[in-house]
Amino acid sequence: MRILGLTGSIGMGKSTVATTFRRLGVPVFDADAAVHRLQGPAGRAVAPIAAAFPGTVRDTPRGRAVDREALRRAVLGDPAALTRLEAIVHPLVRAEERRFLARARRAGRRLVLLDVPLLFETAGEGRVDEVVVVSAPAAVQRARVLRRPGMTPGRLAAILARQVPDAEKRRRADHLIRTGLSRHAAQRAVRRLVRGLRAGPRRRADRGTRTRTGRAQRSHA
């Protein structure tokens, strides 16, 4: 089974690209969606987060759930608190990912996608065969993100400071999807990429070599 990792900085259009993969019949594991489930009503992350960050969990009609805004305030500007949170959430997400891959293997899937926003930041490239990076010009990225409710320039700067720079992500990519032109152009690039992946041989997984050389198969949009 060929495992692709999809990543990209905030506002780069990764959700559009992941949706296109899904519509082309590629099973997609959405790490962000997994986090929401884990922190949602009766999710497995709720109890440990409540213990580590008092006041960040609330009662809902469906059970106790993490108040995501309260949790954001609890870790904002506190690297030690963020590390504690990641130590709770990341292993749970990895377990969900392993179950997804096991199901895909049992179903005989030949190509799957792991949609992981912090793939490089968490050394996740070692878990995949090839990495797809989604990128757009910085001005486009900024305009997209600042249109989001509650987003501010300061909050955007704080998020970007925790992410591997876009230029470094592009350097380390096996496949690059550019989303700065239009949604349709990006979708066409994904379709070309999927056709090539399904037709071509599986690339040897060598994370160390790729990281050093920065070679990438460019799938431009």
pLDDT at 215: 40
pLDDT at 201: 67
Distance, in Å, from the CA atom of 119 to the CA atom of 116, rounded to the nearest integer, reads: 5
pLDDT at 203: 59
Instruction: Collect the ranges in the chain with pLDDT lower than 70.
Output: 201-221
pLDDT at 127: 93
Number of Cβ within a 10 Å radius of residue 78 = 12
User: Three-class SS string for the chain?
Assistant: CEEEEEECCCCCCHHHHHHHHHHCCCCEEEHHHHHHHHHCCCCCCHHHHHHHCCCCEEEECCEEEECHHHHHHHHCCCHHHHHHHHHHHHHHHHHHHHHHHHHHHHCCCCEEEEECCCCCCCCHHHHCCEEEEEECCHHHHHHHHHCCCCCCHHHHHHHHHCCCCHHHHHHHCCEEEECCCCHHHHHHHHHHHHHHHHHCCCCCCCHHHHHHHCCCEEECC
116-144: burial string, b at 16+ Cβ within 10 Å, e else: bbbbbebebbebbbbbbbbbbeeebbbeb
pTM above 0.75, yes or no: yes
pLDDT at 22: 97
Task: Output the six-digit token pair for 118.
Answer: 């912090």
